[in-house]
Structure formats: structure tokens, C-alpha cells
Structure 1
Amino acid sequence: MNLLLLLYAEFFKIGLFAVGGGLATIPFLEELIDMYHWITQEDLINIIAVAESTPGAVGVNAATFMGYSTAGVLGGIIAVLGLITPSIIIIVIVAKIFHKFKSNSYVKAAFYGIRPVAAGIIGAAGISVAMIAFGIEDLITGASTAYLATVFNILLGLLFFFAIEKFKKHAIVYIAVGAILGILIV
């Protein structure tokens, strides 16, 4: 299959099934990494870090990066188009018919049922990212320095959590401090 067509098809599937927003795309992106090795797991974590601290959606930024890494500028464009096409189709259909069915009990029940699924997908993605970010994955695989790194990362995460709760500064302050610490420590 042509690489550009494959990029479009894979990101179309992600766009179709990643209910709940950008973070819900992460499990699907991890599956792509396992299947095609277009980027590394570390690249994905970096994409998430950058995407969460810059304007734009995680899924769109990841699609752009994966597409570009795989097939250049055209690959980035094709991957993003694949990701957003299902949303555009669904929005057009819903806009045409939603006003007729918005009070239908089945429609209400379906939306009610989708909420926990989206929360579960986002929660699973958060756990996956946390395991990599805190070094827990390295600890499980038995990397030599994993224990100290994992403890340090967890303590640093807790420190930031409590700082956020206590000082209530804008998120960009914590992102900047985290970036500076990352540069200094690594």
C-alpha cells in the first residue's frame, strides 16, 4: 500500500475512534508505533509534552510529526487530513440531524454511555504517559538506574502537584520551570 494512503487510512481510523479529544489519541498512536515504528515511544512523550504546552491538539500535532517523520511535508499534511476527516464528516451529519433527535431518549442514553468510555481512554493514556515520564516502565524492565530515576521523577511530580495546588500560578509557569529543570538535570 502506498505510504501516503497508509498514513491517511491509519489516522482516519484514529480520528474516527478517538472519542474524547487529543489525549484519547495516545493509545492509538502507541499502537501505530508498535506496528510501523514511524517514531519512538520517547518521541511520542516529547510530542505530548510539546502539544500540551503549545496551541493545537495532541492528535493533530502527533499526526503532523509522524506524517512528517515518515513522508516529509506531504506526509504531515496527509496524516492531519486523515485525522480530521472523520470529525468533519460527523459534524456535518450531526448538524443536519441533531435538532430532530436531541430530545430522543436513545440519543441521550448514547451520549451518556460515551462519557465513561472517553474518560477511560483518557485515563489509560494518562497512566501510560505517567509510567514513561516517571520512569516506572524502566523500573519494570529492570534498567540499572531506574530505581533512583523513578523515585526522583515521582518526587518531582509530587512537588509540582503541591506547588500547583498551593501557589495557583498560570500553567505556563510550571511548564517553563519543568523545561528548565529538564535541561539542567538531563
Structure 2
Amino acid sequence: MIYLELFFTFLKIGAFTFGGGYAMLPFIQTEVQAHGWLSMEELVNFVAVSESTPGPFAVNISTYVGMETAGLPGALCATLGVTLPSFVIILLVAKCFARFKSSKIVAGAMSGLKPAVIGLIGSAVISVGQTVFFADGFSAFQGIDYGFVCSLVIFAAALIMIIKKVHPILVIVLAAVLGIGSGYLGQIL
């Protein structure tokens, strides 16, 4: 049954991922593609949308995958699956916080998890970057296409705006406008 499959898949993702939504992205990508729920391009597109919508990143993606796969009940199952482990862990930690607060074992475990989380986030950056910038593969002899150049220009413009401390909402709106405009311009060219 698709609802149980969505629930248990996202329960596994939520239970075994530390570091938030970006650290979950490689697991989500692997599971979604293994089940054939979304193509890599669809997943990357939703990652971009998820960045500009309110709410936790992993919840947005799980809800979207569930909705695309099995409608509203699928969205509810996937969202419940991804949030349930965190909810239970937070309840347990809150109950036992006084004991864990000064534990060297817990501090050591958290210290060991930091490099793993950084690696998972780096993996997500590389995976998404390959799909966005090198969808047809990378070759020194391959012509640079219009979409690649536009993506690079929008990325550079957004990066400069962030460095110059432009308000994030303005960066998102301007990047969206540039993306839409380049899409229409690409159809004309």
C-alpha cells in the first residue's frame, strides 16, 4: 500500500538523519528515485521552491512527494513519517535534559556527528549542482547552453546580493523574476 510505503520511507529518513533538511536531501533523493516517485529534475525544482516557502525544508519536501505520489492522504503520511522521529526524540531529550546536559558521551557523540552532517550537506550541494548546471553531463568540448549561463548569472547575482546584505525576501523575488524572464527569453531564442 502506497500510504504505508510513504510513511515508513519518510520515517526512516527522519529517524536516521541528523542536521536538518539539507542533511536529509541525499537520503530523500536516494529513496525518491529508488521508488520512482519523482525524477531528479522534479526533485531539484521542488528543492528550489521549498527554499522560498515557509516551514521546515524536510517537511516541505516530504509533503510534496506524498502529494505528487498519492494525493492528500499521501502528503499526510509522508509528513507524519518525517516529523514523528524528531517529535519523539525532542520529547525524550526534554524529559532527560538535566541528565544529558553535562554528559561527556553525549557531547562526544554530537561532536562526531558534525563532520557527518557537513558531508551530507556537501553531497546534497554536489548532487543538486550537477542536475542544475550539468544536466547533460560535463564535457570540455560540449557547448555551453543558454540555461547554464542564465543559472550561473542568477546564482552570481543572488550571491552578490546576499553578501551586500540585501533582504532575503528581495533576493528570492528578484531571483524568481530573473528565472521566469530567462525562461521566457530562452523560449524566444
**Equivalents in 1 of 2:158, 2:124: separation in Å?**
20
**How do 1:60-75 residues align onto structure 2 when only pairs under 5 Å count?**
60-75=59-74
Matched, 1:181 2:178: yes
**Equivalents in 2 of 1:52, 1:149: separation in Å?**
20
Residue 99 (structure 1) shift? 1.1
The number of residue pairs the alignment matches comes to: 182
**How do 1:43-62 residues align onto structure 2 when only pairs under 5 Å count?**
43-62=42-61
**Equivalents in 2 of 1:33, 1:141: separation in Å?**
28
Match of 1:158 in 2: 156
Please give the TM-score of this superposition, normalised by the length of structure 1: 0.88
CA distances 1:104-149 after superposition (whole Å, capped 9, x unpaired): 211111111111211221121122222222x22423289x765554
**Equivalents in 1 of 2:41, 2:139: separation in Å?**
16
**Equivalents in 2 of 1:68, 1:108: separation in Å?**
38
The percentage of aligned residue pairs carrying the same residue is: 38
Structure 2 gaps of 5+ residues are 184-189
Alpha carbons 2:10, 2:81 under 8 Å: kept: yes
**How do 1:135-154 residues align onto structure 2 when only pairs under 5 Å count?**
135-140=133-138, 147-154=145-152
Structure 1 runs (4+) greater than 4 angstroms displaced: 144-148
Matched, 1:21 2:20: yes
CA RMSD of aligned residues (A): 2.0
Residue 63 (structure 1) shift? 0.8
Match of 2:124 in 1: 125
Residue 150 (structure 1) shift? 2.8
Residue 27 (structure 1) shift? 0.6
Residue 74 (structure 1) shift? 0.5
Alpha carbons 1:47, 1:58 under 8 Å: kept: no
**Equivalents in 2 of 1:185, 1:126: separation in Å?**
23
Residue 152 (structure 1) shift? 4.2
Please give the TM-score of this superposition, normalised by the length of structure 2: 0.87
CA distances 1:137-179 after superposition (whole Å, capped 9, x unpaired): 423289x76555434432432233223323x211111111111
Match of 1:76 in 2: 75
